């Protein structure tokens, strides 16, 4: 039986939240040599296409406000969402509150980064998100989201 058929029979959600933090609304414009030329809308289209192939739905959101990301993590738990893909942007390296929100829910969270933080400035090497997440995908540009979505489909 396929994963999708099992999910449908068990009543499990097939929705994956894709949460994006500060400055990701500027993708395609902001430092494209680091983050690429794809916009968040381009990434949303790629994710929607791949999600459909995987029998999933994606709910893509972006906020420059830490509290919104935390509220959405709590919402994922309350709504029984299958998984969360989280690109917390700079909050990755600073937010104990997001770390604690991830730890407080049972929904698996997959950390996503367009660039590889470990090849960048030293302050980007510590990830509060990664310390709480089920796994991390980084360094593959927009494809990091697709790789993470494929991992989420198998959870």
Annotated catalytic residue 37: no
For the chain, the straight-line distance linking the first and the last C-alpha, in angstroms and rounded, comes to 15
CA–CA gap between residue 129 and residue 109 (Å, rounded)? 9
Determine contact, residues 16/83, Cβ cutoff 8 Å. Answer: yes
CA–CA gap between residue 71 and residue 113 (Å, rounded)? 21
- Of the residues 37, 65, 93, 113, which is catalytic? 113
| Cα within 13 Å of Cα(10), Cβ side | 12
CA–CA gap between residue 15 and residue 92 (Å, rounded)? 23
Annotated catalytic residue 113: yes
CA–CA gap between residue 27 and residue 96 (Å, rounded)? 25
- Of the residues 35, 91, 99, 145, which is catalytic? 35
Helical spans, DSSP H, in the chain: 3-10, 32-35, 40-54, 66-79, 96-103, 128-132, 143-153
Active-site positions read: 35, 113
């Amino acid at each position: 039986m396929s994963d999708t058929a099992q999910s449908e029979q068990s009543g499990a959600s097939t929705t994956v939240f894709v949460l994006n933090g500060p400055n990701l609304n500027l993708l395609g414009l902001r430092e494209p040599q680091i983050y690429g030329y794809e916009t968040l809308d381009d990434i949303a289209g790629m994710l929607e296409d791949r999600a459909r192939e995987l029998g999933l739905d994606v709910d893509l959101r972006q906020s420059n406000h830490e509290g919104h990301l935390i509220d959405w993590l709590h919402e994922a738990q309350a709504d029984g969402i299958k998984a969360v893909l989280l690109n917390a942007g700079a909050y990755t390296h600073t937010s104990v509150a997001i770390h604690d929100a991830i730890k407080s829910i049972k929904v698996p969270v997959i950390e996503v980064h367009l660039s590889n933080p470990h090849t960048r400035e030293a302050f980007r090497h510590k990830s509060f998100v990664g310390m709480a997440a089920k796994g991390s995908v980084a360094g593959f540009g927009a494809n990091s989201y697709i790789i993470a979505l494929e991992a989420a489909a198998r959870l």
